Structure 1
């Protein structure tokens, strides 16, 4: 199962009344995977000798290294399917132990949460997680592992690039920063490319990001659209040679419709179209 399926399951569980969440973080997961133990896990799961040989060859190339800097919104890591497959396989024992004990755990690679209906259940689940992780030669990060009560004011947790609360979910801060950093690189005021070329480059980043975060709370998108237009107006102001023009005057000179006519991708419009297609 992929990221999007895991996100849907978390969203559904919260709607069903799972109030307490074990938000756990495994310390330096990809640095601490025992390759010999992983090979043993692979041999237990796969009988085809040719496939086993192929996977062992991948491990010799340190294919798991490509997962260290991977984020779900960034797409498939180097090594294609094999990296997340192996990363998932190493914690299969944790999945089985939690399911056997009756807990609802949702996981992708080393990112996982356990959803519970009571604090007592959550504390017990956290204890079992710690024990199972320790058996795999891993450890939980004490400062990043805790039980979240979604009924508390401001309570929430991060999972697979999103931040979840009891009623809403949106891109976590790191996910927003990653997009904005990419846009900043493409909209530097010293960028000598044509506006059309800059907009094409920006659109590629926006479309890829939207594909993953299109199910965010609707207020996410107008804020980002506005921020992107401000970046482009800054370029246009510099090229016009008019210094010190206020943001309001920038908006009057280059209104939103100006960027629409130049083909700028709109997150708001894309989100609206998605909602219409899902209800139509």
Structure 2
């Protein structure tokens, strides 16, 4: 149709590189605002074709998953739909990113999948969990010059956004583990902030720790992470302390979305 024709003309319009015109052969750059729009326009016909064939599938812009019961069926559908996309839509299928895989091994928009009692269920893909933990590590680091208030606000903002995105997944146990890990990180960064022996001693005593044990811990040479996981810091900085200070619980934030 006319829209598809306009899209093809745009894709072949060329680009400017350092003030010089260059012809374009592979479409628009990923990450640009037009990339998902054009993906939706061009692959709408692909979705209609899959529906007419009775296939179960899910598509977001140019990310597409087709579900079949057997590997042989998947390979047959892959060959035919590739032929349709390249022959009728005149788009090139990226062979490197196109895979045949068991649904439990697939990552789609950050989500993973598993089968429970014969039904497909959503989970957070392990790579997405590690990406979140990387951001949390940065926000609970020591050498960034971040104020306590700024750290708290950015942590809460990150947690809210992440939970709102992944709230469709089954992740109760995962979030409980994440909460325990994040509380350790917060104890660690607080311990780092108490740089002087005297400061550590006074704060531990204020938290109800025996003076002798508080002095011993204040003078410890053990690593920050090991100290953060000790019974003494868990008692001095219980989860309720962070909640009272306004830090969000990952699991609590998820529970509020249900």
The equivalent residue for 2:39 is 87
Which ranges in structure 1 are unaligned for 5 or more consecutive residues?
1-37, 45-51, 68-77, 276-280
The equivalent position to 2:175 in structure 1, one of 207, 214, 221, is 221
Number of residues of Structure 1 aligned to a counterpart in Structure 2: 212
Partner of 1:247: 229
| Superimposed CA distance per residue, residues 136-178 of structure 1 (whole angstroms, 9 cap, x where no aligned partner) | 3423435750142x6xxxx442211100011332221332232
CA distance, structure 1, for counterparts of residue 96 and residue 143 of structure 2: 44
Task: Give 1:41's aligned residue.
Answer: 4
Q: Contact 2:188/2:228 (CA < 8 Å) preserved in 1?
A: no
Structure 2 vs 1, CA of residues 40 and 190 (structure 1 numbering), >3 Å: closer, same or farther?
same
Q: Alignment RMSD, CA only?
A: 3.3
How far, CA to CA, are the matches of 1:164 and 1:86 in structure 2?
28
How do residues 131-280 of structure 1 correspond to structure 2 at under 5 angstroms?
131-135=83-87, 136-141=90-95, 145-148=99-102, 155-167=104-116, 168-217=121-170, 218-241=172-195, 242=218, 243-244=221-222, 245=227, 247-248=229-230, 249-275=232-258
Per the alignment, residue 113 of structure 1 pairs with 65
| TM-score, scaled relative to structure 2 | 0.69
Does structure 1 conserve the Cα–Cα contact (< 8 Å) formed by 2:191 and 2:228? Answer: no
Looking at structure 2, the residues matched to 178 and 59 of structure 1 have their Cα atoms a distance apart, in angstroms, of 35
- Cα deviation per residue 1:172-219 (whole Å; 9 max; x = unaligned)? 133223222222222212243332321111111111111101122222
SS at match of 2:256: helix
Unpaired runs of at least 5, structure 2 = 17-23, 196-217
1:262 Cα deviation after fit: 0.9
Q: Which whole-Å CA distance do the structure 2 matches of 1:214 and 1:175 have between them?
A: 13
Once superposed, which parts of structure 1, at least 4 consecutive aligned residues long, lie more than 6 Å away? Answer: 58-63
Larger RCO, structures 1/2 (Cα 8 Å, 6+ apart): 1
- For the residues of structure 1 that align with 2:137 and 2:246, how far apart are their CA atoms? 19
State the Cα distance separating 1:227 from its structure 2 match: 2.0
Structure number, greater radius of gyration: 2
CA contact (8 A) 2:58 2:66 kept: yes
Report if aligned partners of 1:133, 1:140 keep a CA contact under 8 Å in 2. no
| Distance in 1 (alpha carbons) for counterparts of 2:245 and 2:176 | 18
